[in-house]
């Protein structure tokens, strides 16, 4: 189990409040923020264990508040199946404990943030979905298994499917829920699930939900695009530090 101390517990609580706040305002970002901040304090595999429970709870909330769950399942099941197929064996890379895992986490955070800030939004033709969805799922799964972050390339891909706003939010909830479950299975398969960390992860639900509630309340009072830009710029800085850390 990760060694507990008052400063560390305060850092975990603060991290999940901020991560929930970001998710409440933007609809995503909880595992990304949690992995980025906690990955700077503890090993990525320990950070991944801590984010499992609050990520699952908040993503299920997001998933089942959407308009048509079954229609999304029928459309996206090949992508979801391949996320699982890539994550479970790919978690070996996260559990191996290499210093390169920290660098990989940093690079993924930077890539996601820069794409979100400057990338042009593509549109995926419906006829390409049949072969592209499983490929995107597999790549997302491998990256999830290696870094604990499940936004690349799933989020840009889902945004490119021209879904309605509510459908997109629900599709993101579906992808994140499947990724969280697959990461749990992968860490368990490779013997990297610490019961103590899971208990601490369960205790992180409350600050995460508190942050989400605050973010949803704040969303009507601030500019979500401006908040999102600020969040992504911070993510570039945090990811850059993680990417460079093993080399200096």
Q: How far is CA 14 from CA 19, 37, 116, 145, 156, in A?
A: 8, 10, 25, 25, 28
User: Could you read off the pLDDT of 27-58 as tens digits, one per residue?
Assistant: 777 888 888 888 778 888 888 888 899 888 88
Among left, alpha and beta (phi > 0; psi -120 to 50; other), residue 29 is left
User: Could you read off the pLDDT of 112-129 as tens digits, one per residue?
Assistant: 889 888 877 778 888 899
The closest alpha carbon to 117, from 14, 237, 222, belongs to 237
How would you write the pLDDT of the chain (248 residues) with one tens digit per residue?
556 688 888 989 999 999 888 888 877 778 888 888 887 788 888 888 888 998 888 888 777 776 778 888 999 999 999 999 999 999 998 888 667 777 888 888 888 889 888 877 778 888 899 999 999 999 999 999 988 888 889 988 998 898 887 788 888 889 999 999 999 999 999 888 888 778 888 989 999 999 988 988 887 788 878 877 887 888 888 888 878 877 76
Q: pTM of the entire structure?
A: 0.85
Extents of the domains making up the chain = 6-247
Give CA–CA dist 63/175, Å, rounded: 9
Specify the residue for token string 């945090």. 238
The closest alpha carbon to 104, from 242, 248, 247, belongs to 242
The answer to whether the CB of 184 falls within 8 A of the CB of 193 is yes
| DSSP letter, residue 246 | G
The closest alpha carbon to 81, from 137, 130, 128, belongs to 137
The closest alpha carbon to 104, from 93, 115, 114, belongs to 93
The answer to whether the CB of 245 falls within 8 A of the CB of 36 is no
The answer to whether the CB of 45 falls within 8 A of the CB of 192 is yes
């Amino acid at each position: 189990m990760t060694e507990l101390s008052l400063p560390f517990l305060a850092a975990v609580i603060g991290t999940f409040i901020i991560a929930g706040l970001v998710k409440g305002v933007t609809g995503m970002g909880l595992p990304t923020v949690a992995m980025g901040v906690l990955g700077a304090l503890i090993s990525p595999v320990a950070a991944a264990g801590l984010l499992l429970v609050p990520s699952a709870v908040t993503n299920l909330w997001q998933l089942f508040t959407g308009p048509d769950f079954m229609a999304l399942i029928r459309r996206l099941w090949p992508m979801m199946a391949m996320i699982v197929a890539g994550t479970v064996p790919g978690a070996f890379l996260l559990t191996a404990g290499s210093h390169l895992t920290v660098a990989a986490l940093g690079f993924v955070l930077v890539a996601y943030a820069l794409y979100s800030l400057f990338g042009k939004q593509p549109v995926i033709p419906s006829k390409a979905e049949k072969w592209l969805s499983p490929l995107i799922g597999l790549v997302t799964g491998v990256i999830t298994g290696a870094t604990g972050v499940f936004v690349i390339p799933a989020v840009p891909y889902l945004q490119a499917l021209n879904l309605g706003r509510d459908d997109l939010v629900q599709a993101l909830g579906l992808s994140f829920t499947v990724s969280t479950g697959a990461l749990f299975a992968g860490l368990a398969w490779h013997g990297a699930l610490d019961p103590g960390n899971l208990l601490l992860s369960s205790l992180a639900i409350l600050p995460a939900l508190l942050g989400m509630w605050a973010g949803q309340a704040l969303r009507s009072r601030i500019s979500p695009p401006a908040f999102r830009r600020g969040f992504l710029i911070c993510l570039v800085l945090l990811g850059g530090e993680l990417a460079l850390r093993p080399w200096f």
